[in-house]
Amino acid sequence: MPVPTPIAVPTLPPNTPNSAIIQTIMGVGAQILQRQAINTRNNARGTVTYFKRFDMQVQCGTNCYRTIKLHQGTIINPRGATPGVGSNVDINGRTDPNGTLQADNITVQQ
């Protein structure tokens, strides 16, 4: 059985007149993707499937659930709103290594 060989990734020759511009554009694109990945890790949007005191679970999509932890000082908007099962929420905060989102702000969608 023959051993598969890797497919060569196309590259620009170093002396291409626009290579510096293309490299800059590629670098900016990579930075945008990195920021989006960080933003996605630290945000959740979906429907509350469980809520009790400081623990919440949000369904972000089909078969996609996110564990949310509230803390003293978590801001819930609009003021006086309480998220409950079935509420649509937008949450941002900090992600723990285990994937749990420590909620700093929760916006209950009306």
Q: H or E segment at 41?
A: helix 19-41
| Number of domains observed in the structure of the chain | 1
- Cis geometry, peptide bond prior to residue 97 (ω within 30 degrees of 0): no
Residue with tokens 């909620």: 103
Residue-number span of the structural domain to which 104 is assigned: 44-108
Task: Tell me what pLDDT residue 83 has.
Answer: 92
Residue 104 in domain = yes
Q: Cβ distance 93 to 42 under 8 Å?
A: yes
Q: Does some domain include residue 98?
A: yes
Is residue 58 classed exposed, middle or buried when 0-12, 13-18 and 19+ CB atoms within 10 A define those classes?
Answer: buried
Taking the model in full, what pTM does it have?
0.65
pLDDT tens string 4-17: 676 676 666 666 66
DSSP state of 4: P
Structural domain includes residue 10: no
